Structure 1
Amino acid sequence: MRIPSTSRSEPRLGAGGILAALLLTLNRFTSAYQLDPNSTSSIKSIAKSIAKDMVGMYHGDEPGQTPGLLPDPYYWWYAGAFMGTLVDYWAYTGDSQYVEITKQALLFQVGDHDDYMPINQTRTEGNDDQGFWGLTVMSAAEYNFPHPAEDQPQWLGLAQAVFNTQAARWDTEHCNGGLRWQIFQWNRGYDYKNSISQACFFALGARLALFTGNSSYADWADRTWDWMEAVEFIDPKSWYVYDGAHIGNNCTKLVPYQFSYNAGGMILGAAAMYNFTESQVWKDRLDNLLVGAKVFFSGPEKNIMTEVACEPVKLCNLDQKSFKAYLSRWLAVTTQWAPHTRDTIMPLLRASAVAATDKCTGGDNNRMCSLYWTKDKFEGEVTIGQQMAALEVTLACMIQDRPAPLTKDTGGTSKANPGGGAEDVGRTTPDLDYKPLPAGDKAGAAIITILILAGLLAGMFWIFFDETSDSGPVDQFRSFGSSAAAVVAALAAGGGAAAVLGHKKDKKDINEKNAAVFATSSNGSSQENTNSLVTNDAPAGVTNQSQGQHRRVSSMPLGWPQNPAMRGSTLYDSDGIYPASASARQSRGDWAVGGIGESSSAAGSSAGGNRSYTQQENATGDTTPGTEEPGLSHDTNSKSAAHTAEVGVSQREAPGAIGVAQ
């Protein structure tokens, strides 16, 4: 709309025109959504808009892209959670426009053995990552999400395969039980046992028990709960769920940060177990967890969902910005498995949904959702996780209109695969299946290898050939034997020393993906304080500081022929005149490299002070080890000390950055 000019040739704006212009200007700062949490039409309309903006940030269904992956910097687990939101969106609204891209993604990422362990994710996949994909296909089974083709793995079978592979990783050697954060030893966090890995496994087992009626799954859920209580990841007094602990101190030193998805996962599993067993024990556990979860609700009425570990200090990382999506999702389902919780949960979800949608005024379209639901306006950046959280809490407002999750006895039709994941059970290294090389490739590799070796040999001869020597190439080549023997001996000695040093060190496995995970840990644990992805397969205890030093006695190459004539031919004076005379060197006191048949009279400083060792010769021309000159400092490496000091910083100095799933 053009605002009329105020020139004399045109009429001035009237009061109505000014008001209209102001309203247009202020529209950018007003809420894009006015949610009525009690109106199904309002909920569906707003959910549809939020879902559209969320899916607009996913490109895995586009040509040249990988189905099931979000763009960088989002991790693989994030995509599994994202697909879970799309499954929920279909189940709540009946809108099927995203069904095909969801099915495509869920089936593309199953891996070679249909258990969500794709080889191309071995550098980032942990138990919690795999668990999120497992929980998503479990929801697909419970909602009768459109089934895959007959020749494809089925939703229930995929969930069972994930569970089977994780049950085999239950680690009683350290902390008397529990799952490690990581699956593979080279990923950061392999020495850490975190609550979200246990929560995913616990909830998946409880839901499988409820869906299939098989109490073996419930037994594992019981075991997981008992272990969480034993190590006090669940506080026995406050019922807070803490993030985890390192195995180096036997899981006795807790990382006390609280994230909403840890509590949400345990609440979800407890609700399923209560529905499965109908026991007072599980009802009490569920009710107590809900009391502890009140810590995640703030605002004047203490009813607005907040990520308390990082939001107040504005330090939430990309992962943490999505956590409220999972608490919203799992609290909603809890009201169906444990109807007595509705009066506690639904007022919190409705108030949070109104607050969340009220802040969806960001981005270029002025309707992207904010992380901070207790603020007066949109703040921060636009992320997929924030869209997921706003969508999940909005959908939760119509949970009472949806049937409870199905089981095989109430209409669930997804096919089972009780033995799924058997190929990956107990696996600690990727299952790499390399195809045999064709004959042509083998021949090409052989030719290239021969050419490289020939080039190396020619280069070595060129380096050791002395064009200033009176000896011909053949004689010099013959004398090269002593040099080669010296090199071989030096390499053998060095290899032996390295083997001894390596044998004496305990293995220490460095940890994963999400980084910003550890600011400190116990002995034997690794730490990282960045969000960069690091893979480190070095043995534990290895530092940047040199364990020993080999100091050469001259500036000649290692293994230089012990031939006095050849050694003497390399002597130059300080002015570059060749050869340097003994008298010239003696007048300068330059004895750093002795001449033929000469001996140094003292270990004085060489000219310029740029040599740290002197070398002496006897009458036969043999050299004796030099003596380090006084006043010259050793070249030590201080980086290791700095690194050691850095990783010793207490975790409590990095609020909101502990135990995150990447």
Structure 2
Amino acid sequence: MATRSLLLPAALLSLLGGQLAVAIDLTATDADSIKSAASTIVYDMMSYYTGNNTGDVPGNLPDPYYWWEAGGMFGHMVDYWYYTGDKTYVDEVVQAMTWQAGSGGDFMPSNQTKTEGNDDQGFWALAAMDAAELNFANPNSRDTGTTYPSWLAMGQAVFNEQLTRWDTGTCNGGLRWQIFQWNNGYNYKNCASNGGFFQLASRLARYTGNQTYVHWAEKSWNWFADSILYESDTHKIYDGTSDTNNCSDADHTQWTYNYGLYLGGLAYLYNQTENEKWLTHVHGVLNQTVNTFFPNGDNIMVEVACEPYSTCTTDQFTFKGFTLRWLAVVAQLVPTTASTIWPLIQATAVGAAGQCDGGNDGTTCGMTWNTTTWDGTYGVGQQMSALAAVQANMIYVNNLKAPYTTATGGTSKSDPSAGTDTDGSGSSSGSGEGAIYHRTITTGDRAGAGILTAIMLIITLGGSAWLVLF
């Protein structure tokens, strides 16, 4: 991997007068321009990655980045290879993803196992599905002495494990945010976990043609659609709900990635089944996505819950990128959406590139894409979101093929029983910590963790306040 010359954080250099207003020039309809811009952005993004350094952990990002964010980043890197043909980072991506997947392929590394949530695991599984659907380098292309499951089998392993966690004991079903009862937030049923499971099932259904995945995608959607998390008339999607009150109210915060998770899943499911009911939901959720997150009349995406207030956190800097990635695939899989989606992606990409004018190199990306004055923020999330916005245009410009399936040239081998020989607690080694959604944990949340010992309960109730990131 190329070594970045930026030795000091971009914000610090700005304070010292080191900022250069260079920016990245982008023509969103020109392949060479897109590739050049993407290469610059990805170089800066990968400069934060230390997992390929001697003594570090492959697949991990340093603090303050959470483990799930690394999974999301490597999904973008798989796309980068496919969109641009640049093989520079292929070995790093394969090393990172296989190490974190482990020999069991379930993305439950031992140093992460007791703290990761269903949404964390799900983002790594979706990255593996990117690799399967784009015929990315074989996971065993590196001679490491360890044999890894196929990319597809990794997705299947996570699906099978999460299937065992489908919880009908409260709220008529759904996945909990946390896997284990002792973790704060166990009582929270959120869109990131359930939307991730829905999209994973939909993508497995399309890739394999197996009706079991279709069944579970539909079952997952029906639970969501009948829950407090979805307004069927407006197609608004809410963030999560608690089983302490039988999921009777919801956190109404609007986040882009919640819409992206479900919109992507709906598109895969419609493309596979050609059932018109899924097409109706695709257009409904898409229209609400446009109405909510493109508010300024300039076709540029805004993270409306935090961006206008300069309150976005490490997690939230990533959200727009995921949604843009999935919007591009929606346009491929559901052609009736293309005329709506591509003008949004093109304008957003130009805006994102124009915001990449910070730091000492003059190309560090910020978050606020409707201005070319750098907003002073920097990091992996800003880089990956700008990357997603820019490189997605290659689908339109080069008329790239839709994601592969076993019937259309996909080479990743299926293993429907993957992940069923473990208890979901993981078998590989690794590190990293944190979950996607960090919310204020209530007494009800804590009380729900019934297997905690009395000592742990006292510590939880009497200890320091939970760090609120939202």
**Superposed pair shares fold, TM > 0.5:** yes
Post-superposition Cα deviations, 1:403-427, rounded to whole Å, max 9, x if no partner, equal: 11000010001111110001234x4
Q: Which sections of structure 2, spanning at least 5 residues, go unmatched?
A: 1-16, 142-146
1:519 to 436, 440, 443: 440
Q: CA deviation at 1:280?
A: 1.1
In 2, the alpha carbon distance for the partners of 1:163 and 1:542 equals: 32
SS in structure 2 opposite 1:193? strand
What is residue 409 of structure 1 aligned with on the other side? 407
Q: 1:355 aligns with which of 327, 351, 354?
A: 351
Which amino acid in structure 1 is aligned with residue 421 of structure 2? E
Q: 1:379 aligns with which of 365, 371, 375?
A: 375
Q: d(CA) in 1 for partners of 2:436 and 2:410? A: 39
CA shift for structure 1 position 185: 1.6
Aligned to 1:118, the other structure's residue is in SS state: coil
Encode CA deviations 1:157-213: one digit per residue, 9 max, x unaligned: 111111110111100001110000011122221111100111111011111111101
- Conserved? CA contact 1:360–1:366, under 8 Å: yes
State the partner residue of 1:194. 190
**Which among 72, 75, 89 is matched to residue 66 of structure 2?**
75
The one-letter amino acid of 1:105's match is A
- Deviation per residue, 1:31-65 (Å, 9 max, x gap): 42121011111001111111111111111111111
| One-letter identity of the residue aligned with 2:41 | I
| Aligned-pair CA distance for 1:537 | 4.6
Q: Tell me, yes or no, if structure 1 residue 285 matches structure 2 residue 281.
A: yes
- Structure 2 match to 1:229: 225
Letter aligned with residue 347 of structure 1: P
Structure number with bigger Rg:
1
Structure 2 matches for 1:500-519, cutoff 5 A?
513-514=434-435, 517-519=438-440
Question: For residues 3-402 of structure 1, what are the structure 2 equivalents within 5 Å?
Answer: 30-149=21-140, 151-298=147-294, 300-400=296-396, 401=398, 402=400
Contact residue 228 and residue 247 of structure 2 kept, 8 A: no
* Cα pair distance change 1:538/1:319, threshold 3 Å: farther
Counterpart-to-counterpart distance in 2, 1:516 and 1:407:
32
Is the contact made by 2:19 and 2:360 (CA closer than 8 Å) also made in structure 1? Answer: no
What is the SS of the residue equivalent to 1:377? coil
How far 1:542 moved relative to its partner? 4.1
Deviation at 1:395, TM superposition (A): 0.7
CA distance in 1, matches of 2:100, 2:427: 15
Specify whether residues 515 and 417 from structure 1 end up closer, same or farther in structure 2 by C-alpha distance, changes over 3 A only: closer
The one-letter amino acid paired with 2:111 is N
Structure 1 residue 237: Cα displacement: 2.3
Q: 1:539 to 1:343 in 2, by over 3 A?
A: farther
Output the CA distance in 2 between the equivalents of 1:81 and 1:515.
Answer: 11
Counterparts in 2 of 1:376 and 1:244: CA distance versus 1, 3 Å: same
Query: In structure 2, what residue type is equivalent to 1:413?
Result: T
Contact 2:351 2:372 (8 Å CA) reproduced: no
Separation in 1, partners of 2:454, 2:253: 29
Unpaired stretches in structure 1, ≥5 consecutive residues: 1-25, 434-511, 528-535, 546-638, 648-653, 658-662
Contact 1:295 1:308 in 2 (8 A): no
Aligned in 2, Cα 1:394/1:515: closer, same or farther, shift over 3 Å?
Answer: closer
Distance 1:336 1:210 in 2: 14
| Aligned residue pair count | 441
- The aligned amino acid for 2:408 is T
Kept in 1, the 8 Å contact 2:160–2:418? The answer is yes
**What is the deviation of 1:431?**
6.1
Pick from 398, 407, 417 the counterpart of residue 419 of structure 1. Answer: 417
* Alignment-mate amino acid for residue 412 of structure 1: G
Kindly tell me: are residues 50 and 69 of structure 1, through their superposed partners in 2, closer, same or farther at Cα, counting changes over 3 Å? Answer: same
Question: Quick one: which amino acid aligns to residue 309 of structure 1?
Answer: A
TM-score (norm 1): 0.63
Structure 2 contact 134–410 (Cα < 8 Å) conserved: yes
Q: Deviations over 1:623-660 (max 9, x none)?
A: xxxxxxxxxxxxxxxx95x98xx89xxxxxx8x81xxx
Q: Which has the higher contact order (CA 8 A, sep 6+)?
A: 2
Q: Deviations over 1:3-32 (max 9, x none)?
A: xxxxxxxxxxxxxxxxxxxxxxx9966442
- Sort the Cα spacing of 1:178 and 1:516 in 2 relative to 1 into closer, same or farther, 3 A: closer
* Contact 2:352 2:386 (C-alpha < 8 Å) held by counterparts: yes
CA distance in 1, matches of 2:291, 2:27: 26
Using a 3 Å threshold, how does the CA distance of structure 1 residues 384 and 416 change in structure 2: closer, same or farther?
Answer: same
Quick one: structure 1 residues 295 and 310, their matched pair in 2 at CA, closer, same or farther if it must change by over 3 Å?
Answer: farther
What are the superposed Cα offsets for residues 499-532 of structure 1, whole Å, 9 maximum, x if unpaired?
xxxxxxxxxxxxx9359833364x62139xxxxx
Distance in 2 between residues matched to 1:138 and 1:299, nearest whole Å: 32
CA RMSD of aligned residues (A): 2.6
Is contact 1:187–1:513 with CA below 8 Å preserved after alignment? no
Contact kept, 8 Å, 1:369 with 1:386, in 2: the verdict is yes
> Separation in 2 of the partners of 1:348 and 1:243?
24
CA distance in 1, matches of 2:339, 2:99: 40
Q: 2:189 is paired with a residue of what secondary structure?
A: strand
Deviation (angstroms), 1:345: 0.6
Partner SS state of residue 120, structure 1:
coil
1:153 Cα deviation (Å)? 1.5
Distance 1:36 1:62, change over 3 A: same
Correspondence 1:560-571 to 2 at 5 A:
none
State the distance in 2 between where 1:117 and 1:539 align.
28
Q: Is the 8 A contact 1:111 1:119 kept in 2?
A: no
Q: For 1:361 and 1:193, how far apart are their aligned partners in 2?
A: 39
Between the aligned partners of 1:219 and 1:540, the Cα distance in structure 2 is 43
Shift of 1:543: 4.2
Question: Does the Cα contact within 8 Å between 2:78 and 2:136 map onto a contact in 1?
Answer: yes
